[in-house]
Structure 1
Amino acid sequence: MVVAVLSGLALAATSTTAHAATGPDVIAHRGSSGMAPENTAAAIDLAVRQRADHVEIDVQRTKDGKLVNFHDCTMERTTDIEDLYPDRPGYRVSDFTWNELRRLDAGSWFHDDYAGERIISVDDVIRRIQHTRTGLLAEISPCSQYGTTVATDLADTLRGKPGYVRTALARKQLAVQSFQTDDARTFHTAQPDIPIGILDADRPTDAELVGLSRWADQINPQHTVTDQPLVDRVHQLGMDINVWTVDEPGAIRTMAGLGVDGIITDYPQTLTQR
């Protein structure tokens, strides 16, 4: 199946090779998640080797306060947590300690070759990318149990890495995004120098765009609701626009042609040709 997908993606090569240098940033969705298990070290490292401009990750917090890179609010889909902890009443990330989560297999669901891949921390993600050309787009988890506390914790974590943040900002290699406006505002208040983006599955209204432009740096909509008037309006208001999640070759060509600033994709190699 993967071979078939990549064969189809190769159709985009003619229009995207030149665009990779001068066009949209290539943002690896949960790492290179089309080719490796999402949000694991394998997916992050592969995205770096494929020369993605950024890796997109998902920030959650364990029961004992460790920030980890994991997307779903519960862990059944991509780990063996039910086998390892069969008697637990629930499987939210926030219900387990970091030491408990480190035991999980987060790779076998994807392919046997990735058996034993672990959940990784946000600190580990930063260590893996900070001396590369690949930047970070960190999404604050919208899982309801956290409120705005993950936004505060992420701001504190980045405040504790002044060297990394300073270098990453100078190279335009760091931004944070959220579906929740309250989370985004909380983070922006704590870390106003770090670009903040608003994710949206629906097309934002003009009134929403005008309001957000007073403090947000990015509008990051689903690609299916994105057209030329939206891209132009976001740019007119002084913000960038990154679209998600764009995997089909025709959609990649369309989004690149609209002049979006970044394309979030499971297959970064489609755009980088690596």
Structure 2
Amino acid sequence: MRRARGRAAGVVVAVLSGLALAATSTTAQAATGPDVIAHRGSSGMAPENTAAAIDLAVRQHADYVEIDVQRTKDGKLVNFHDCTMERTTDIETLYPGRPHYRVSDFTWNELSRLDAGSWFHPDYTGEPLITLDDVIHHIKHTRTGLLAEISPCSQYGTTLATDLAHTLHNKPRYLRNALAHHQLAVQSFQTDDARTFHTQQPDIPIGILDADRPTETELTELSQWADQINPQHTVTDQTLVDRIHQLGMDINVWTVDEPGAIRTMTGLGVDGIITDYPQTLTQRG
């Protein structure tokens, strides 16, 4: 994630010198180590996707925080993962009897009253939800970058990708600085969302999340426009890492928490490790 690779050039290089490129990429990555990407912030130690988790990841020297972008009923982009809000907030207590508890069913004013911390630990009682703007405010003067996931929740269609692209476009100072320092990327499980975003913001690296092992056909097609392939670590091996690098893309694996799995993924030469415990890799508590 340190840079967006040249897509078309990557395909040519793969044909002419794929094995040499793979060896060079693996050697370089071994020298620097993979990017440390804090999954929903430092979510193993603080309530996910809150300011507490974001700030802790920054203090732990994570290279990136990974967040989840959704949209409220009144159009505010917020940082929240689940498609409904019962697991990590007190929304049912505060708003009993609602037919649905999706982010998109509530205004930001309503959601800003929620407790998003006490489910994790009493010490975090009253920890609020935060917006995309809040996330950027917390990291923009740090060395920690942003990996933003476009939520796959079905109610948004591809409009959420458009909203995220528009919001980032309207932050030109942040956008210029983040891109200059390789501190911004966007990812999605939905290829249509990723393409929509990429069409509108082609300079921002775009990644494709995958719970399954991508096929050769998928990899070849995606290499024409995507910058990253971000698979589950359990489907990742040396052959996949090398092939993604041969095609000119980066690979960030998720969600890697066990020390043995972290060592394995590092040894494969992945570009980034998405983890709930960034301090395990940074050695910063």
| Shorter-normalised TM range | over 0.9
Q: Which residue of 2 aligns with 1:3?
A: none
Q: Who is 2:61 aligned against?
A: 51
The one-character-per-residue Cα deviations of 1:95-133 (angstroms, maximum 9, x if unpaired) are 000000000000000000000001100000001000000
Q: Does 1:272 align with 2:272?
A: no
- Structure 2 counterpart of 1:231, one-letter code: V
Comparing 179-188 with 159-168, which one deviates more in the overlay?
159-168
SS in structure 1 at match of 2:147: strand
Q: Establish whether residue 263 from structure 1 lines up as the match of residue 277 from structure 2.
A: no
The C-alpha deviation readout for 1:18-73, integer Å capped at 9, x for no partner, is: x9981100000000000000000000000000000000000000000000000000
Structure 2 unaligned spans of 5+: 1-28
Kindly report structure 1 stretches of 4+ aligned residues shifted beyond 2 Å: none
Whether the aligned pair in 2 keeps the contact of 1:20 and 1:271 (CA below 8 Å) is no
Q: Which amino acid aligns with 2:278?
A: P
Q: 2:95 aligns with which of 72, 85, 90?
A: 85
2:33 maps to 1:23: yes
Q: Deviations over 1:118-169 (max 9, x none)?
A: 1100000001000000000000000000000110000000001111111111
Residue 14 of structure 1: aligned partner: none
Q: Secondary structure at the match of 2:241?
A: helix
1:150 is aligned with what amino acid?
L
Q: Separation in 2 of the partners of 1:250 and 1:173?
A: 28
Residue of structure 2 equivalent to 1:163: 173
Q: Count residues with an aligned counterpart.
A: 256
1:206 match: 216
SS at match of 2:270: coil
Identity of aligned residues (%): 87
Does the CA contact (< 8 Å) of 2:30 and 2:267 recur in 1?
no
Instruction: Describe the SS at the equivalent of 1:169.
Output: helix
What is the root-mean-square deviation of aligned Cα atoms in Å?
Answer: 1.0
TM-score w.r.t. the length of structure 2 is 0.89
Separation in structure 1 between the aligned mates of residue 201 and residue 220 of structure 2, nearest angstrom: 22
| Alignment partners' CA distance in 1, 2:279 and 2:271 | 17
User: Which of 261, 270, 284 is the matching residue for 1:251?
Assistant: 261
- Gap regions ≥5 residues in structure 1: 1-18
SS at match of 1:120: coil
Find the counterpart in structure 1 of residue 49 from structure 2.
39
Query: For the Cα contact (< 8 Å) 2:30–2:269, is it kept in 1?
Result: no
Equivalence map 1:124-143=2 (5 Å): 124-143=134-153
